[in-house]
């Protein structure tokens, strides 16, 4: 959030940042040749599938499409920030003190939403990079499959043409080696795919949860800010009572700032309720064990317990 409680300043790292430091800036944010229009997007997407080994193509397309998503997210983030500035710029013009103050503070909060969106893009990039490593292992497994296939074909061919050629024996030994190699390759493929897949999406969903809860927080504080604006209608010529909300509005920004700064994933309040749990035996319902150790998938905070104890 902005130290000065207005639209210019530097930001301090939040508790969540300290818990796990933010990733490097997304690679998609640099190096544009054309604009970010959908033309580029469709080109990128359509070309992706047409190169590289068969096995890795679908994922290659997915990775490219994710790049499109990120480019679009960037657009939104940047435009949100501009909107925030324009809002406080508009309020500045109106000669009401309260409209001007509320819009300025609201601008700060909306700008912060844009900032959050910007950070979530960097996280999104980390997820995308992890997907790439799956694509790479897929690509590297292809040759060993091809080689195995090729040798098998050669043997079949020879057996048909000259059934008792000595080359057959040699080829069959080669085939055994190729099969061994391919066994290893397939095992690597399966292991790395699963490991990276889980890692990538767990990271993505955590970052989504962080982003969403923080945005919901900001929205809540923004609503509190709106309360400061007195909207009781006045009759012509009547003078509105002087605006006394400066301290309040600043306090709201500060509260919001500290709430965002202290937020960590463990404090996430939006939680799913699962009607089945996992046990070593398999999956049982309600009266079974917990889904897993972490409380995460345990219960849904929207149960009617008092949130405001």
Where in 186-215 is the site for its own copies (CB under 8 A)? Answer: 186-187, 190-191, 193-195, 197-198, 201-202, 205-206, 208-209, 211-213, 215
Query: By three-state DSSP, how is residue 270 classified?
Result: coil
- Count residues contacting its own copies (CB under 8 A)? 115
Distance of closest approach, residue 165 Cβ to its own copies, in angstroms? 30
* Residue 177 lies near its own copies (rule: CB under 8 A): no
Q: Which of residues 14-53 bind its own copies (CB under 8 A)?
A: 35-39, 41
3-state SS record for 235-252: CCCCCCCCCCCHHHHHHH
Closest to 15 (Cα-Cα) out of 266, 254, 263: 263
* Residue 73 lies near its own copies (rule: CB under 8 A): yes
Selected from 236, 242, 280, 286, the binder of its own copies by CB under 8 A is: 236
* Residue 175 lies near its own copies (rule: CB under 8 A): no
Selected from 18, 220, 279, 289, the binder of its own copies by CB under 8 A is: 220
What DSSP line would sit under 45-64, residue for residue? HHHHTTSS-GGGHHHHHHHH
Identity of the residue, 158 or 212, whose beta carbon is nearer to its own copies in the bound complex: 212
Distance CA 171, CA 142 (A): 20
Stretch that binds its own copies, among 77-85, 152-160, 161-169, 170-178 (CB under 8 A): 77-85
Selected from 89, 149, 162, 177, the binder of its own copies by CB under 8 A is: 89
Selected from 18, 169, 170, 183, the binder of its own copies by CB under 8 A is: 183
Long-range contacts from 261-265, C-beta under 8 angstroms, 24+ separation:
261/1, 261/12, 261/14, 261/15, 262/14, 262/15, 263/14, 263/15, 263/16, 263/210, 263/213, 263/214, 263/217, 264/15, 264/16, 264/19, 265/16, 265/19, 265/206, 265/209, 265/210
Q: Any residues with CB less than 8 A from the CB of 134 and at least 6 apart, and which?
A: 59, 192, 193, 196, 197, 200
Q: Are strands 276-279 and 282-285 parallel, antiparallel or unpaired?
A: antiparallel
Stretch that binds its own copies, among 19-27, 71-79, 140-148, 166-174 (CB under 8 A): 71-79
Distance of closest approach, residue 273 Cβ to its own copies, in angstroms? 6
Selected from 80, 127, 130, 170, the binder of its own copies by CB under 8 A is: 80
> Bridge-partner residues for 255, per DSSP?
none
* Residue 289 lies near its own copies (rule: CB under 8 A): no
Selected from 123, 171, 221, 257, the binder of its own copies by CB under 8 A is: 221
Selected from 10, 50, 51, 231, the binder of its own copies by CB under 8 A is: 231
CB 80 within 8 A of CB 114: yes
């Amino acid at each position: 959030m902005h130290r000065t409680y207005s639209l210019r300043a530097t930001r301090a790292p939040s508790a969540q940042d300290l818990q796990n430091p933010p990733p490097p800036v997304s690679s998609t944010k640099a190096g544009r040749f054309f604009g970010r229009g959908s033309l580029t997007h469709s080109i990128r997407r359509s070309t992706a599938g047409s190169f590289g080994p068969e096995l890795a193509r679908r994922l290659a397309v997915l990775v490219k499409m994710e790049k499109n998503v990120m480019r679009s997210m960037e657009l939104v983030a940047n435009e949100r920030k501009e909107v925030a500035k324009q809002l406080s710029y508009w309020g500045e013009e109106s000669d009401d003190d309260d409209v001007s103050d509320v819009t300025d503070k609201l601008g700060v909060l909306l700008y912060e939403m844009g900032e959050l969106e910007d950070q979530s893009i960097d996280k999104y990039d980390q997820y995308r990079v992890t997907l790439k490593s799956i694509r790479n292992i897929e690509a590297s497994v292809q040759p060993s499959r091809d080689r195995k296939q090729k040798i098998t074909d050669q043997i079949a061919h020879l057996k048909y043409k000259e059934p008792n050629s000595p080359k057959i024996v040699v080829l069959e030994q080669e085939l055994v080696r190729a099969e061994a190699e391919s066994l290893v390759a397939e095992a690597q493929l399966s292991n790395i795919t699963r490991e990276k897949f889980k890692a990538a999406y767990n990271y993505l969903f955590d970052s989504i949860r962080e982003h969403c809860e923080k945005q919901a927080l900001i929205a809540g504080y923004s609503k509190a800010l709106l309360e400061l604006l007195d909207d009781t209608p006045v009759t012509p010529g009547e003078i509105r009572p002087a605006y006394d909300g400066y301290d309040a509005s600043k306090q709201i920004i500060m509260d919001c700032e500290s709430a965002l700064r202290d937020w960590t994933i463990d404090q996430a309040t939006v939680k799913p309720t699962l009607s089945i749990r996992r046990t070593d035996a398999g999956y049982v319902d309600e009266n079974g064990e917990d889904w897993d150790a972490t409380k995460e998938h345990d219960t849904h905070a929207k149960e009617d317990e008092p949130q405001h104890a």
